[in-house]
Structure 1
Amino acid sequence: MEEVFDYIVIGAGSAGGTLAARLSESAEHRVLLLEGGASHKDLLVSMPSGWGQMINSPRYSWGHETEPEPYAANRRISLPRGKRLGGSSSINGMIYVRGDRADFDSWAALGAKGWSYEELLPYFVRTEDQQCGEEEFAKPWHGRGGPLTANNLPQPHPVSLAMVQAAIQAGMPACKDFNNGHPDGAGLFQVNLKHGRRSSVASNAIEPAMRRSNLQERMQVLVTRIGLEGRRATSVHWKDGAGGRHSASARKEILLCAGALQSPQLLMLSGIGPAAHLREMGIDVNVDLRGVGANLQDHAIVPMSWRMRPGTPSLNRSLRGLGIGASLLRYLLTRRGAMAMPASEFAAWFSSDSSLPYNDIQIHGLPVSGDIEGYMQSGKNYRTEAFPGMTMAPYQVRPFSRGELRLRSGAPEELASVRMNFLHDERDRKALLHGVRMASRIAMQPALAGLVEAQTRPVPRLQSDDELLDWISMYMGSGHHASGSCRMGDAADVMTVVTPDLKVRGVAGLRVADASVMPHLVSGNTNAASVVIGDKAADLVLGLPPPAPMQWNGAGSGASALRTAAAAMA
């Protein structure tokens, strides 16, 4: 007999895992959580540097890639999406960034009423587990006890600290807290690490919730469609690993949280999407919804590298050859060293356009360099270089270019066709060029100049816009922040997929709650915002009032805080 639940959550990622945990807090709700991946209990998942091996491994990532991208030398670009409990929060770079106040105020202005910064700040506080007690991280702007750990780097690398000083020497303010509502200047990221291990939604929200008798989970399943009766979503159908077919019904609601690449695909497989495309795929049209799969966005990131002078401390040797074994042993014994490193330590936000109300460029930096050519251009595994090196990678935080996702067929096993259209808008190319030139300028400052032997990517002789854009086309990749493909907004807008309460237009009993609902990208990494989407979705579903509103007074971003941060960096 078909099982019946109150709520069925599809996808145990950052948003879905948070949502399922919240819904199951009350024993009166029977919740089913469906996840395509396996358990998060794995050394590569828990070991911070494991992210580099997981993002393109079929054991840990779904294997999405774009169609050939015109501004990336017609290369197909990898789009990692997590295939483990916890979704992409189990394979990501563990960076804790919320975004800019202007991002969320813009969401509200675009029709996502209730999603302004003032309204979302209490959710960011509630979902955070801040590990630092310093003034800049105190309440009311930060919180403890939430599912998302925010922690300072336990042992920042000397080269990362030199990057911070060099950026300040290049004219940027020092910034201690990039989550103060307006990330600005140079500093070190906070990260989702605790005791030398990844601290994710899987470990902090889903795993504790799985001990509740009213939450059932099914892992390593492939959801094939959402069943509708008329215009009401009533059931979910899936296959298990052996090909067996199963289904369950929802008394109240179905919550789709499969992410920006798989939520629109599943809607279309269920007959919800652009009618002409669905008919072309041989799928019966249940609801003609033009915006499904449109408005797709991602950050286009370009890694730049420098060869450091002999003897400069760098992690290249620790992540190459015999050094890998020594680093792994050190990690297993102490939870420290190269294997305890997140995807980035150095951070910088700055503007390429003074007319914008937010800083539109973000730089990631690490004390390591590698074979970008093999990784980007031929799909080989990333290998660190034999000499000491460092990397800085800029991207534009809110691209103007928009992509599109479409089905390849009506088979749920086949990944969708993705055209991200990176850099199609001239404004995006201009902004990224500014970011590349600023990173080169940072490397020339006194704090780094004595450590750097030569810039290796791009070589210094490439100076003109055309020369640099040609180089960018060969080296650009995804920032792993796909979003926007089921856009939230005003119901009167024909391209809106979900209304501000996350309900799918024209379908009762169905909501989407993940990064796909973002009207546009946030100014930085997307994981924290995705967790907030899941948390707010729980309140919307359960009819609960939002957390108490908070008044913004610029705490942490004033001159006093900058002076304190500068002194701490000295």
Structure 2
Amino acid sequence: MASPPVILLLVSLLFCIATQRLYAEQAPNYTFVKEASEVSPLQGRFDYIIVGGGTAGCPLAATLSSRYRVLVLERGGVPYGNSNITRLENFPRTIADDRPDSPAQRFVSTDGVISSRARVLGGSSCLNAGFYSRASPEYVAHLGWNGTLVNESYPWVEAVVANVPIVQQWQSGVRNGLLEVGILPYNGQTFDHIVGTKVGGSIFDAEGNRHTAADLLEYANPDNITVLLHANVHRVLFRTRGRNQPLAYGVAYTDNTGSTHRAYLERNTRQSEIILCAGALGTPQLMMLSGIGPAEHLRSFNISVLVDNPGVGAGMADNPMNAIFVPSPTPVETDLIQVVGITPFGSFIEAASGLSGYAGATSNSDDFEPYLGIMSPQIGQLATYPPGERTQERIAEAVAQLKVAVAANNPAALGGGFILEKVFGPLSNGNLRLLTTNVSDNPAVTFNYFADPADLQACVQGIQTIEQVINSGSFTDFRYPQTSTAFLLNLTSSLPINYIPKHTNDSTSLEQFCRDTVTTIWHYHGGSQVGRVVSPTYHVLGVDALRIIDGSTWNFSPGTNPQATVMMLGRYMGVEILREREQS
């Protein structure tokens, strides 16, 4: 018979499993969230129509609903009940799922880098690696935000989604290595952006459950908010007759049956607005489809030009990420990003680890699915087939090959992880252009990685810092003794992580390594920037009753990882809009 401590341990374990399963399967009691096809026609008009229930849209809607009637139109479904979203160990599966109705919509930039955009309530906070870190005070001051309100808005978000991670061996090794090579001071655990090394936050809790921007809807007034799922907005509606400039008054959208609907703003107030929160790809794309953008480009698609603004789709940027894969002789945990080295030269050093099996399966188990954190065959960055040919069967084939390598005890496939660097800014940028007039289709996006020499230099310094960390005494347990950093660079270069033509081999410079192995950390931004497309209060230039509140308005991505600031911005601007109406 089992002893009482053993029984208590088993009960505790079963309770944890049940709790995890409950979180993954049970949605909050959001009575205001409905399928768009089930709510037709909409009753009445709205003070605010928010296009995109994502990382900014959810906190914005929750805030505005405290006093006004709000409609949120989200093109995807809910994250709840999908363990691929809600569980940390399933992170690659969501991004790998590229079915027409999946939460992640894959795209490949014209540069040849594979990426994804969100298609789910909660936006990219449902897909990302979970790291939570605020913007720096300098960033806040540069954008002219009210520092007091910023410092009130972050905690509003953090009370629901942010957690302090439990730092285990791989992350500890990276942290100690960063300190050993001079990325100082050590700032401990903090959400703040401070030069040096720190442990940040995470939207994954201690049990590995993801908390997303959709959770912020718990702040909403259920009597004042309607959220429609699978509502794909394809045009903003404008009135022009007798007006100095066009007035946004509604939107047209389709539901998941293909039926078209319209939603309208309240007519009896001058403050009602449509607010685009569709993200760095979705917002400029929708602006163009609605007639706002470069006139010549719009006319080439027979789109009537409402406002000729060449700034729409301009300034598209993506923080380049480069990584070194480090096979480890010591088994390591499965973890996404927790530790960051914020360097003074414009590069952020982060890490992810774990060649792991789901549900704790061993490498000999049929349930074992090996993956390499944020660089995985399931995601597609380590698969040899191009995106159009990357079927679920071929992904399974790549996973099977990695499983065989594990069983064969191949050092290049054993436990370990990636140490990566991300270039701050960046200074290099490109553009977004339509390929079709179907809002569900991806536009063409060019980021022009490393076009600016300063970005390339920051990458080189970042890779040099990673090499020093790998060779540090603090990292000895996670490095094969005879494995040189030159070998690891060549090993990483051999991985098919993008579609940029590769250069060969032992004599490759770090500059070439950066160009050859560049990939994304999913922090792209721009396309509707302040001064080009919107005012400092995020009103769209040249029209009335239309704002943009999302990362498309930024010239630079904030902090080490932007999701905390995107969520903060939704809350911040919600409060600002409420204050504006009080004072009018």
- Shorter-chain TM-score bucket reads 0.7 to 0.9
Aligned partner (choices 277, 289, 292) of residue 269 of structure 1: 289
Give how far 1:519 is off.
Answer: 2.7
| 1:452 CA drift (Å) | 0.6
Is the contact made by 2:327 and 2:479 (CA closer than 8 Å) also made in structure 1?
Answer: yes
Counterpart position of 1:123: 153
The alpha-carbon distance between structure 1 residues 539 and 465, as it changes in their structure 2 partners (threshold 3 A), is farther
- Residue 274 (structure 2) pairs with residue 254 (structure 1): yes
Work out whether residues 13 and 258 of structure 1, in 8 Å CA contact, stay in contact via their aligned partners in 2: yes
What TM-score, normalized by structure 2, do the two folds share?
A: 0.75
Question: Is the deviation greater in 422-431 or in 459-468?
Answer: 459-468
CA drift of 1:158 comes to: 1.1
1:444-483, aligned counterparts within 5 Å?
444-453=471-480, 454=483, 455=485, 456-459=487-490, 467-483=509-525
- The verdict on how the C-alpha distance between 1:543 and 1:116 changes in structure 2, with shifts beyond 3 A counting, is closer
Letter matched to residue 425 of structure 1: D
CA contact (8 A) 1:502 1:537 kept: no
Q: Which residue of 2 aligns with 1:4?
A: 45
Residue number in structure 2 paired with 1:346: 339
Query: Which among 73, 84, 88 is matched to residue 48 of structure 1?
Result: 88
Q: Which piece of structure 1 moves more, 256-265 or 44-53?
A: 44-53
Indicate yes or no: 2:206 matched with 1:186: no
Q: Is the 8 A contact 1:178 1:184 kept in 2?
A: no
Retained in 2: the 8 A contact 1:377–1:475?
Answer: no
Cα distance in structure 2, aligned partners of 1:249 and 1:345: 43
* SS of equivalent residue, structure 1 residue 364: strand
Rounded to whole Å, the distance in 1 between the matches of 2:508 and 2:142 is: 33
Distance in 2, Cα, partners of 1:531 & 1:375: 28
Q: Is the 8 A contact 2:109 2:445 kept in 1?
A: yes
SS in 2 for 1:55: helix
Quote the residue 1:87 is aligned against: 123
Separation in structure 2 between the aligned mates of residue 540 and residue 168 of structure 1, nearest angstrom: 40
The equivalences for 1:163-182 within 5 A come to 163-173=174-184, 174-180=186-192, 182=193
Taking the aligned partners of 1:295 and 1:415, their CA distance within structure 2 comes to: 18
| SS state at 1:20 partner | helix
Counterpart amino acid of residue 187 in structure 1: K
TM-superposition CA deviations, 1:221-248 (whole Å, max 9, x none): 2111000001000011001111100001
Q: Which runs of 4+ in 1 moved over 6 A?
A: 371-374, 460-465
Task: Work out whether residues 105 and 116 of structure 2, in 8 Å CA contact, stay in contact via their aligned partners in 1.
Answer: yes
Cα deviation per residue 1:235-285 (whole Å; 9 max; x = unaligned)?
110011111000011121101100011000001100011111111121001
Preserved contact between residue 97 and residue 526 of structure 1 (Cα < 8 Å) = yes
Structure 2 equivalent of residue 153 of structure 1: 165
- Secondary structure of the 2:265 match is strand
Aligned AA for 2:200?
F
Counterpart CA distance in 2 for 1:300 and 1:123 is 29
Which letter maps to 1:49?
E
Asked if structure 1 preserves the Cα contact closer than 8 Å seen for 2:459 and 2:514, the reply is no
Asked if 1:220 is matched to 2:220, the reply is no
Give yes or no for the alignment of 1:31 onto 2:70.
yes
Deviation at 1:497, TM superposition (A): 0.7
Partner residue in 1 for 2:352: 366
The one-letter amino acid paired with 2:350 is H
- Aligned counterpart, 1:136: none
The C-alpha deviation readout for 1:169-218, integer Å capped at 9, x for no partner, is 112221214533x4222232311123521111112x12563x71321111
2:525 partner letter: S
Superposed displacement of residue 541, structure 1? 2.4
Aligned length: 469
Say which one has the larger Rg: 2
Q: What is the CA distance between 1:544 and its match in structure 2?
A: 5.0
Q: Which amino acid aligns with 2:489?
A: P
Q: Which amino acid aligns with 1:224?
A: H
SS at structure 2 position matched to 1:89: helix
Whether the 8 Å contact between 1:158 and 1:313 is mirrored in structure 2 is: no
Unaligned runs of 5+ in 2: 1-40, 241-245, 267-271, 356-371, 407-413, 494-503
Aligned counterparts of 1:5 and 1:222: Cα–Cα separation in 2: 18
How far the C-alpha of 1:117 sits from its partner, in A, is 5.0
Task: Supply the distance in 2 between the matched residues of 1:215 and 1:97 (Cα, whole angstroms).
Answer: 29
Q: Are the aligned partners of 1:187 and 1:347 in contact in 2 as well (CA < 8 Å)?
A: yes
| Whole-Å separation in 1 of the counterparts to 2:458 and 2:564 | 25
Match of 2:470 among 443, 446, 451: 443
User: What residue number does 1:297 align with?
Assistant: 317
Q: 1:465 to 1:543 in 2, by over 3 A?
A: farther
Q: Is the 8 A contact 1:55 1:82 kept in 2?
A: no
Contact 1:102 1:117 in 2 (8 A): no
3-state SS in 2 of match to 1:264: helix
- 1:133-161 CA deviation, whole Å, 9 max, x = no partner? xxxxxxxxxxxxxx4x322113x221211
Aligned alpha-carbon RMSD (Å): 2.5
Corresponding residue to 2:559 among 523, 530, 550: 523
Equivalent residues in 2 for 1:256-405, closer than 5 Å: 256-309=276-329, 312-315=330-333, 338=334, 341=335, 343-352=336-345, 360-368=346-354, 370=372, 375-376=381-382, 378=384, 381=395, 386=406, 387-405=414-432
Amino acid paired to 2:251: V
C-alpha contact 2:248 2:273 (8 A) present in aligned 1: yes
Of 537-546 and 57-66, deviating more is 537-546
**1:422 counterpart (449, 462, 465):** 449
Q: 1:106 to 1:264 in 2, by over 3 A?
A: same
**Does the residue aligned with 1:241 lie in a helix, a strand or coil?**
coil
Q: Secondary structure in 1 aligned to 2:142?
A: helix
Correspondences of 1:124-143 after superposition (within 5 Å): 124-129=154-159
Q: Give distance in 2, aligned partners of 1:162 and 1:346.
A: 10
Does 2:58 align with 1:17? yes
Task: Measure the CA separation in 1 of the matches of 2:383 and 2:519.
Answer: 10
SS in 2 for 1:415: coil
Compared with structure 1, are the counterparts of its residues 466 and 522 closer, same or farther at alpha carbon in structure 2 (3 Å cutoff)? farther
CA-CA distance at 1:34 after TM superposition: 0.4
Equivalent of residue 63 in structure 1, options 78, 82, 106: 106
Q: Please tell me whether the aligned partners of residues 450 and 515 of structure 2 are also in contact (alpha carbons under 8 angstroms).
A: no
Contact 2:51 2:275 in 1 (8 A): yes
Unaligned segments of structure 1, at least 5 residues: 70-75, 108-113, 130-146, 316-337, 353-359, 490-495, 547-570
In structure 2, distance between residues paired with 1:530 and 1:202: 13
Aligned sequence identity (%): 25
Cα 1:438–1:372 shift into 2, 3 Å: farther
* CA gap 1:100/1:402 in 2 versus in 1, 3 angstroms: same
SS at 1:523 equivalent: coil
Q: What whole-Å deviation, never above 9, does each CA across 1:40-85 have from its counterpart, x for those lacking one?
A: 1111111123222212422121222211x1xxxxxx2122222111
SS at match of 2:176: helix
